[in-house]
Amino acid sequence: MTPAFSQRLPASSDREKWRAEIAAIPPATHQLGRLVLFLFRVGGERFGIEPTHLDLTAPLPALHSMPHRSASLAGVVNVRGAVTLCFSLAKLLGCAPGPVSPRPMLLVLTLGAWRVACQVDVAEGVAEFERAALMPVPATMDAAGRAHVKGIFPCRTGQDIAWLDAESLFKAFDGVAR
């Protein structure tokens, strides 16, 4: 059975073209007080990360567990033929449980040579925010999550968006993987 149009992965040439277009977004966008984030949901929380760190979104493939691992390391997945570590952002960030997603997604994130996968409940897409709207991280946020969040953007729906610090996340991934 052929997958539905919305389920098909784009050709690798298209992915490379899109990655180049995203990377070519001029830094002037940030200087003008606007910030572009890729939004996703984990548990009952919404998060955003700069699209330059996003390599791929796809339906969650088979997740293979690993013995003697941290709870934050969900296992390994096959991403384009490469065995990739898959982390549980819910465990790493201390997220409150939310509605169970019938179709969890996989985000593949990159920072320099690092490439990791993360299981998320919903991949929402890209949104733009005014930097002036950024609020400080509330003291009531779990310490595990607070360490990896740069700030909070209020949202009209009432569910605020936590802007993740990619460098801090990747340091945590490195610590868990060792």
Asked whether residue 58 is assigned to any structural domain, the reply reads yes
* Residue 115 near residue 125, CB atoms below 8 Å: no
Spatial distance between the Cα atoms of 80 and 12, rounded to a whole number of angstroms: 10
Spatial distance between the Cα atoms of 164 and 178, rounded to a whole number of angstroms: 22
Asked whether residue 120 is assigned to any structural domain, the reply reads yes
Residue 24 has a pLDDT of: 66
Asked whether residue 105 is assigned to any structural domain, the reply reads no
Asked whether residue 38 is assigned to any structural domain, the reply reads no
5 pLDDT tier (thresholds 50, 70, 90): low
Number of domains in the chain: 1
Asked whether residue 6 is assigned to any structural domain, the reply reads no
Asked whether residue 158 is assigned to any structural domain, the reply reads no
Q: What is the extent of the structural domain holding 119?
A: 54-80+114-125+167-178
| Residue in the block written with tokens 């390994």 | 76
- Cβ-based neighbour number of residue 172 at 10 Å: 18
- Condensed to tens digits (0 to 9), the pLDDT of residues 124-173 reads 999 999 998 999 988 877 777 788 999 999 887 778 999 999 999 999 89
Mean pLDDT of 82-94: 91
Asked whether residue 5 is assigned to any structural domain, the reply reads no
Mean pLDDT of 21-50: 78
- Condensed to tens digits (0 to 9), the pLDDT of residues 44-87 reads 889 999 999 999 999 999 999 888 778 889 999 999 999 999 99
Asked whether residue 61 is assigned to any structural domain, the reply reads yes
DSSP string, 62-92: PPBP-SS--TTEEEEEEETTEEEEEEEHHHH
